[in-house]
């Protein structure tokens, strides 16, 4: 949900914990998409896998193809 108010934009963001909602109310509005992204990814850890069982493996397949040779 996107609501315009004067010159500011307020984005509707779901709160996953009570602390999230309290922080949003305490700090006020999110002024831009950049601010929204910073807020959503403030505590994001790219090294954590979102899985129910951490012992499950992830199969990653990689393939390479030669596109051309510039010089011999």
Convert the pLDDT of each residue in 32-66 to its tens digit.
Answer: 788 888 888 888 888 887 778 888 888 889 999 98
Distance CA 30, CA 10 (A): 6
What is the C-alpha separation between 31 and 45, in angstroms, rounded?
Answer: 24
- The pTM is what? 0.31
Alpha carbon of 26 to those of 13, 20, 21, 72: distances in Å? 15, 10, 9, 64
Q: Which two tokens stand for residue 69?
A: 């040779």
Which DSSP state fits 6? T
């Amino acid at each position: 949900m996107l609501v315009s108010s004067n010159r500011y934009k307020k984005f509707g963001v779901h709160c996953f914990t009570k602390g999230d909602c309290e922080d949003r109310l305490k700090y006020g509005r999110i002024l831009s998409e950049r601010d929204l992204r910073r807020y959503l990814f403030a505590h994001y850890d790219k090294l954590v896998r979102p899985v129910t069982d951490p012992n499950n493996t992830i199969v990653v397949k990689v393939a390479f193809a030669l596109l051309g040779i510039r010089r011999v």
